[in-house]
Structure 1
C-alpha cells in the first residue's frame, strides 16, 4: 500500500486522460458553481497522481493511466490510502464522489461502458460521515445579535451587516445567494426576491417579512449614494464602502469578527439552519420547506434536518389517508371490543339472575 513518501507529484497536464478531464470540467462549468469545479478538478488531480503512483509501484507503464483501466480495487486502494493518511471522512467522500461523477460522465459518453461504471461503484463501502455538533441560530437569537449591532456606531457597514444577518435569518438564503442578489430582482409589493444559487442557474423565489423590508429600503438609499459618490455601477445588493461588490468570504468574515468581539458563536449556515428549524417547528410542510431552502430533492431537506423535522414528519404521516383509515379501523376495533365486553357482562348477569330464580322455585317446590 502507498504511503505519503511514495506519493509522487505527477504532471497533471501530461496524463493521457487530460482532454477527457478538461471536457468533463467544461461540461460541468455550464451548470455547476465555480467552487464545485475547483473541487472536482482538485479531486481528479489527486486521484490521477495516486493512480500513477500505484501503477509505478506495480511496475506498470504510466501510459496505462487511463480511465478505462480504473477498476474497483483502484478506488478501494484510493479510499484506504486517504484513510491511512488520516484525512477526514468528508474529504474522502468528496474526492471519491468527484471520481464517481467523472466516470459517470465517461459512461454517458461511451468512453467506458455502463457495466464498467456499475462494477466499480455498486455497493462500494465508504467511510461514514461523523455527526458533528452543529450551531443553530434561530430567529430569536439572531435578533439578539441585531440588537447588539444597533447599539454600535451607525455606519454603512453596520447597516449593511444588520440587513445581511436579518435577511439570512428571515429567508434561509445561502451565503453565495445573498452575494448574488440583484436589487432589480426585489419586489417590494409582495415582499419577494428572485435569487440564484449561482450565475446562470435556475432562479427560485423567496419571501421576506415587513421588518426586513423597511431596513432594506433604507439600505438601498445608502447604497445608491455610495455608487454615485464613487461613480460606480453594481448589480449586487451588497457592496463595500468604496462601491465594489462585497465578496462572499467577506460575509463570513464579518460574522467571525462578531463572534470574537461579542462572544456570539454564529456562521452563515447556522442562520440557514436556524431558519429551517423555525419553519419546521411551526409545522411548515416539508415539501414547501424543501423548495424554500432551494434543495433539489426533498431527501436533502429530510437528511440534513431530520432531528427538527422528525415531529413534522410524524404529524404528516398521521395525516396521511392510510394512517387515518388505520386509525378508523383501530377505533372500530376498539368499539367492537367494548361492545363485546358489554354483551358478555350482560349475559353473565342474566345467567346469575336465572340461577337465583331457579333456586327460589326449588325451595317453594
Structure 2
C-alpha cells in the first residue's frame, strides 16, 4: 500500500549528488582500500554511490567531517534517507553496512557508539544472510568421496563429521562443542547447548551416520561426560579450522577438476543451508525447520524457502507437467 501511495503522490526530486575535491579525497581512499581487498568493481561502485550520498549530506547539511560525526548526527542522516530520499528499510540497511565498512577502513572510531546502539535497539536488519550456495546430496557425495580418497590418517573421522553436520544442520561451532553427557549414542540424539541463539535444542542423525559416529568414537582417549565427542588422536577437542580446511580443500580440488562450478560458493556453512532446503523440499513445515535449525527469526528460514535452489527445482517440476 505504501509503495502505491508513493507512486501516486508527487514527491520532490532527490537531491543531486556532486563530487567535490573534499569528498573525492575520502572516496579515492575508500576505493583503494576496497580494491586492495579484492572486492569486485561492481560492488565497489555501489558502495561508492552510497558513500557519496553520505559525504554530500555531512559536508553540506551538517558541515561536519566523517571523524566529527556523533550518534545524533548519524540518526539525522538515516532520517534524511527515509524522509527525503524515500529509501526503503532494505536500502537503508545497505547504507548502514556501507558505513560500517567505511569507518572500519578509515580507522575511525566514532561510528562505534551508533553501531552498538543500533544493534541493541535492532534498528537495522538483526541478522545478515550470507549468500552461500546450498549443497545437494550429489555434490555432498563428491566432497565426501574426495575426502576419502586422500592419504590423510583422519579421513574417516573427517568424513563422519561432514555427514554429521549435514544430518543435524548444526553450526560447526555447535557440533564441536558437543560433550558425551549431551549425546545419546544409542538413539542418535544430541543436545546442543552452546548455540548462537543461546537456547538449547536437540538434533538427530540417520542410523547410517550414527553407526559411523560410534565407529569413530571408539578411538577417543577421553570419554567422560564433560569430554568433547569430537577429538584429535591425542584426545584434544577438535578445532574448527581443521574441519573447515578439509572441506575447503575437497571443494577446491573438485572445482579444479570442473566438477563443481567455479562461481558456486560452497563453504562449510553450505551444509546447514543445504539441510534447510532439503527439509523444506521434503515437505517439512517451515516452523519445524525454524526450530530444528535454531533460527531466532522466521524470516531467516523464509530466506531458505525462497532460495535459488528451490526455485530451480520448482521450475524443473513444473516443466515435467507442461
Q: How far does the alpha carbon of each residue in 1:17-50 deviate from its partner, in whole angstroms, 9 at most, with x for none?
A: xxxxxxxxxxxxxxxxxxxxxxxxxxxxxxxxx9
CA distance in 1 between counterparts of 2:25 and 2:235 reads 49
CA contact (8 A) 1:280 1:312 kept: no
1:190 to 176, 187, 192: 187
Say whether residues 1:247 and 2:251 are aligned partners.
no
Cα gap change, 1:214/1:165 in structure 2, threshold over 3 Å: closer, same or farther? same
- In structure 2, relative to structure 1, the CA distance for the partners of 1:130 and 1:293 (3 Å cut) is closer
Spell out, residue by residue over 1:222-255, the C-alpha distance to the aligned partner (whole angstroms, 9 max, x if none). Answer: 122xx59xxx997333333444333323322211
Distance 2:201 2:236 in 1: 26
Cα distance in 2 between the residues matched to 1:179 and 1:92:
31
Aligned-residue RMSD, C-alpha = 4.8
Match of 1:92 among 92, 97, 100: 97
Partner of 2:220, secondary structure, is: helix
The aligned residue for residue 277 of structure 1 is 277
Does the alignment pair 1:149 with 2:153?
A: no
Range with bigger deviation, 239-248 or 302-311: 302-311
Task: Go from structure 1 to structure 2 and tell me whether the alpha carbon gap of 1:72 and 1:178 turns closer, same or farther (over 3 Å shift).
Answer: same
2:143 touches 2:247 (CA, 8 Å); kept in 1? no
Give the match's secondary structure for 2:269.
helix
| Structure possessing the higher relative contact order (Cα contacts under 8 Å, 6 or more residues apart) | 2
Instruction: Return closer, same or farther for 1:65/1:184 CA change in 2, 3 Å cut-off.
Output: same
Distance of aligned partners of 1:171 and 1:61 in 2 relative to their CA distance in 1, 3 Å threshold: closer
Cα distance, 1:262–1:240 mapped onto 2, change above 3 Å: farther
Q: Give the alignment's TM-score, normalised by structure 2.
A: 0.56
- Residue 163 of structure 1: aligned partner: 160
Aligned 1:298-337 pairs, distance under 5 A: 298-307=298-307
Distance, in Å, in 2 between the alignment partners of 1:269 and 1:63 is 37
Q: Provide the C-alpha distance between the structure 2 equivalents of 1:200 and 1:294, rounded to a whole number of angstroms.
A: 7
Distance in 1 of aligned mates of 2:130 and 2:191: 33
In structure 2, the CA distance between the partners of 1:248 and 1:89, relative to structure 1 (3 Å rule), is farther
Contact preservation (8 Å) 1:89, 1:130: no
With normalisation by structure 1, the TM-score equals: 0.51
- Give the match for residue 45 of structure 1: none
Paired with 1:172 and 1:61, the residues of 2 have a C-alpha distance of 46
2:129 & 2:296 partners in 1: Cα distance? 23
Can you give the 5+ residue segments of structure 2 that lack an aligned partner in the other structure?
1-18, 28-53, 82-92, 102-110, 261-265, 315-322
Deviations 1:71-93 (A, max 9, x none): 3227869xxxxxxxxxx959826
Matches within 5 A, 1:1-365: 3=23, 5-6=25-26, 66-73=70-77, 92=97, 95=100, 99=114, 102-103=117-118, 105=120, 134-153=132-151, 155=153, 157-198=154-195, 201-224=198-221, 235-263=227-255, 265=260, 266-307=266-307
3-state secondary structure, aligned to 1:288: helix
Distance 1:243 1:130 in 2: 35
Shift of 1:176: 1.8
Partner Cα distance (2:184, 2:225) in 1: 20
1:299 CA displacement: 2.0
2-structure distance, mates of 1:174, 1:309: 21
SS for the counterpart of 1:268 is coil
d(CA) in 2 for partners of 1:212, 1:90 = 44
For the pair shown, which has the larger CA radius of gyration, 1 or 2? 1
